[in-house]
Amino acid sequence: MNKRFQYGVDHLTIAIALGIANGQIQGYLGLESIQKIQTSAAAVNQIVQEGRTVYGVNTGFGILANTSISEEDTRTLQYKILQSHSVGVGNPIAPEIAKLMLITKVHALAKGFSGVQLSTLERLCWMIDNDIIPIVPEKGSVGASGDLAPLSHLCLPLIGLGELTVRGKRRAAADVLIEYDLEPVQLGPKEGLALINGTQFILAHAVKAVERFQNCLDAADIIGAMSLESLTGTKAPFESALHELRPFAGNQYVAHRLRLLLKDSEIMDSHIDCGRVQDPYSLRCMPQVHGASRNAWLHLKELTETELNSVTDNPIVLDANHTISGGNFHGQPLALPLDYNCFAAAEIGNISDRRCYLLLEGKWGLPMLLMNNVGLNSGFMIPQYTTAALVTENKTLCFPACADSIPTSLGQEDHVSMGSISGRKLNQVIDNLETILAIELMSACQAIEFRRPLKSSPVLEFAHDHVREYVSFASEDRIFARDIERINELIRNQSFVKEVHRFADSRGVSMTEGFPSFNM
């Protein structure tokens, strides 16, 4: 592990956050970050010693902001806030997302505006470095006042409460601390509030969604090109001159990729004078539809990276004489783009399903249902039922969570973002999208073999052959669920896109050049 990242000082990107989470990058607290942390903690201690009233330091929380807390009770207050706010329900989130919560929380607190102790951050770093990850329930945050419930569960192990995942096993935090000869952290003034105020639950889901959705967008271009080849569609709608007249960056990028994917195709050259005037929209309009989703993804990526380097605590401690109680914890800046990226991801699944349907119609030289002996065999008819079902399920997940605010804290917190739900929903839509794309890829690989002996472009032939290492041509019915799952895993683990891009690079065809904003 050669790469290092200094929390609170260096610029955190999505790629770096994921790199720390998977162990490829080492996050650490350097001298500069330690100085910031200690200066901020000293400022909070000074406030307490001077007896000045500051929200969250020596007052209650939320509707109890006007309730004063004595100096001797300020530490107890921080302990109790972790207990009282640990009200999450539902299944635990994935350990990787919980780890991303830890990483993003450390980075935000290490900027030195939250008044936390160095020892508290060192314990969080120890959890990250040793892959000892808190159990965090998936439901309970309204995405304002911070992701209070999930962050409380995330930080309970600091004080010896809650549960942790250690080497794949779920264990009580108290037992883990004993095993490693560690004492619970003694929280100082304001620390409990600093730990649970913030958007790290929303943010961790956004980080993962940006990575996963980019993979799906890349896969959709490749798979869509394969379907186009199978259906003997034209590449004319992808010409650069057309897209210069409507220069949306996403549209131009997708058209550029499609031109590269279809270059030197025997199949494409075989029907230049076929007389077909136009292709259906799901083939012809890939740059416009895939491109619009690319634009939405790009906006989410940019806003996520802004949030990755933001302070979302409350109150903010600028110095001992200047604290600000504001609303940086409010999740709306991410809730909105997360919600409309649900639409963007759902639309990629929608157009993919339409291409699956086209492949089954028995037109343009393909056998109906992509099999020669149908009647006795149902062919690829039923896999498209699955894409139709998943597309519809995604539509039901497209209601924007951020459009529905419910007041909490007896009206003190009267507008909340619900961005935690937005983040979870987007990842659910992407789950379904990965399967839809896997079914289109399975169908396109089947269809393209009916064009033999003609070959597609070298890049698309490689994509086809790569899939054939896992799933064979179907001459009769079989349990297609097994094929779908094998191909789905290629999409899900990103190996399909990575291998196709790697092959293209080896032939001097870069699938990611020219539009650096769309790379991570």
Predicted confidence (pLDDT) per residue in 145-171, tens digit: 889 999 999 999 999 999 999 999 999
Instruction: State yes or no: pLDDT of 514 exceeds 90.
Output: no
Domain ranges across the chain: 3-198, 205-312+327-512
How does residue 242 score in pLDDT terms, banded at 50, 70 and 90?
very high
Of all residues in the chain, the percent with pLDDT exceeding 90 is 85
Mean pLDDT for 463-473 is 98
CA 176, CA 98: separation in Å to the nearest integer? 17
Burial of 30 (0-12, 13-18, 19+ CB in 10 A): middle
| 470 catalytically annotated | no
Instruction: State yes or no: pLDDT of 372 exceeds 80.
Output: yes
pTM of the model: 0.96
Residues 134, 127 contacting (CB under 8 angstroms): yes
Identify the pLDDT of residue 412.
81
What topology does CATH give the domain 205-312+327-512?
Answer: Fumarase C; Chain A, domain 2 (1.20.200)
Compute the 3-state secondary structure of the chain and give helix, strand, coil in percent, each to the nearest 5: 60, 5, 35
How does residue 189 score in pLDDT terms, banded at 50, 70 and 90?
confident
Predicted confidence (pLDDT) per residue in 418-465, tens digit: 999 999 999 999 999 999 999 999 999 999 999 999 999 999 999 999
Predicted confidence (pLDDT) per residue in 205-235, tens digit: 999 999 999 999 999 999 999 999 999 999 9
CA distances from 291 to 204, 217, 350, 361, 515 (A): 25, 9, 14, 27, 12
How does residue 77 score in pLDDT terms, banded at 50, 70 and 90?
confident
Q: Amino acid letter at 27?
A: G
Q: 7, 28, 55, 281: which one is catalytic? A: 55
Predicted confidence (pLDDT) per residue in 303-312, tens digit: 999 999 999 9
Predicted confidence (pLDDT) per residue in 263-277, tens digit: 999 999 999 877 777
Which CATH architecture is the domain 3-198 placed in? Orthogonal Bundle (1.10)
Identify the pLDDT of residue 385.
98
Instruction: State yes or no: pLDDT of 63 exceeds 60.
Output: no
- Main-chain dihedrals φ then ψ at residue 83, nearest 5 degrees: -65, -50
Rg (CA), the chain: 26
Which of the residue ranges 25-34, 131-140, 398-407 would you say has the lowest mean pLDDT?
A: 398-407
Averaged pLDDT score across all residues of the chain:
94
Q: Amino acid letter at 426?
A: L
Instruction: State yes or no: pLDDT of 49 exceeds 90.
Output: no
Predicted confidence (pLDDT) per residue in 380-417, tens digit: 999 999 999 999 999 999 999 999 999 888 888 889 99
Identify the pLDDT of residue 280.
97
Predicted confidence (pLDDT) per residue in 93-128, tens digit: 999 999 999 999 999 999 999 999 999 999 999 999
